[in-house]
Amino acid sequence: MKIRHSLVALLSVFALGSVVSVDAVAAVQRASAKKVAAPAKSVAKAGKPAKGGKLAAAAPARSGGKVVAQRDRGHARFHAAAPVAQRAAFAPAVSEIDQEGNPLLHSAAFMIADQATGNVLLEKNSDAVLPIASITKLMTAMVVLDARLNLGEILTIGQEDVDTLRGSSSHVPVGTDLTREDMLRLALMSSENRAASSLARHYPGGLPAFVAAMNRKAASLGLRETRFSDSTGLNSANVSSARDLVKMVSAASRYPLIREFSTTANYVVSLNGRQRQFNNTNALVSSPDWQIGVSKTGFINESGKCLVMQAWLLNKPMIIVLLDSFGRFTRVADAQRVKRWLESAAVQQKVAANGRGPST
């Protein structure tokens, strides 16, 4: 009899485990984490912190002062309490939605905006100035294309293009000859640092002139919190804010080649006679559930995981900027949360009635 009871209990445990969602587990972990004091991470020049990502129309005006944005390691400090009846009726949503109906995003800074109107739908720490890593390559591409350089010209990867700052690896060996077009494609699609470095080095005037052109372009787009020091994003001095990056992604979306190259799922290149397939660093470009116009990921230790996209949601071009996400999958999970949130009926009504923000 004892054996039978034990077997039933064991089967119950397995059955329960099979229906608990990843988000539900995450919710339990967050609840437990509140009992442990963790050092907060400071974010320079942040906008006013909120309990969660707020619909912009309901958010108070910014004071203009510096505010410290606090988050636990990997989780923005959101308050996600929900009524017991609501939790019982719709348990999977508990870990995604706060009391005000806004998504619980785990990126330290973010902004979601309607590109067509400039209306800001959701934001947190959107003025915080942060390293942006390989998001830089969107500006690199715009500067290359603005110069109207010959895309068919053969460029060579040199020893100067090897990353000596961080020692990162590359699939493009020194001595590789590729067209400027393929260098641009690999920089945008696979975030190849040597390709981005070569593009800047082969610019008229070399790297110094290229970086100067990047900063001039940023100024012309009204990016007040954006500075560039290299073409790759390996340098942590390449900084911007979520608010600025909404404008930058919007500008990048006007370049057909940036739209094409940044959303190509994979591409085969001949490297010194050998065929090699390169893949996009953003897996969402391959998803049938997403219609993405521009995509770029980024990561260095100082920036955390970053993701920017222009994507069609609610039959509108939306710009999603997610900065300083902790963990391998957080930025993609946050993007999925934004999509589900935007597609909910209640939010569609709010989007139609509310929103504010600068023109992008």
Annotated catalytic residues are: 134, 137, 191
What DSSP character marks residue 165? S
What DSSP character marks residue 163? -
Conformational region of residue 273, where left means phi above 0, alpha means psi within -120 to 50, and beta covers everything else: left
- b or e along 88-98 (b: 16 or more beta carbons within 10 Å of the residue's beta carbon)? eeebebbbbbb
> Could you write out the DSSP letters of every residue in 52-117?
S-B-GGGSPPP-SS-BPPPEETTEE-------HHHHHHSGGGTTTB-TTS-B---EEEEEEEETTT
Question: For the chain, what is the largest distance between any 2 Cα atoms, rounded to a whole number of angstroms?
Answer: 84
What DSSP character marks residue 22? H
- Written as six digits, the tokens of 334 are 């946050």
What element of type H or E holds 248?
Answer: helix 242-252
Q: Is there a contact between 289 and 340 (Cβ–Cβ < 8 Å)?
A: no
318 three-state secondary structure = strand
Q: Is there a contact between 109 and 240 (Cβ–Cβ < 8 Å)?
A: no
Q: Is there a contact between 86 and 40 (Cβ–Cβ < 8 Å)?
A: no
41 three-state secondary structure = coil
Please report, as a single letter, which amino acid is at residue 90. F
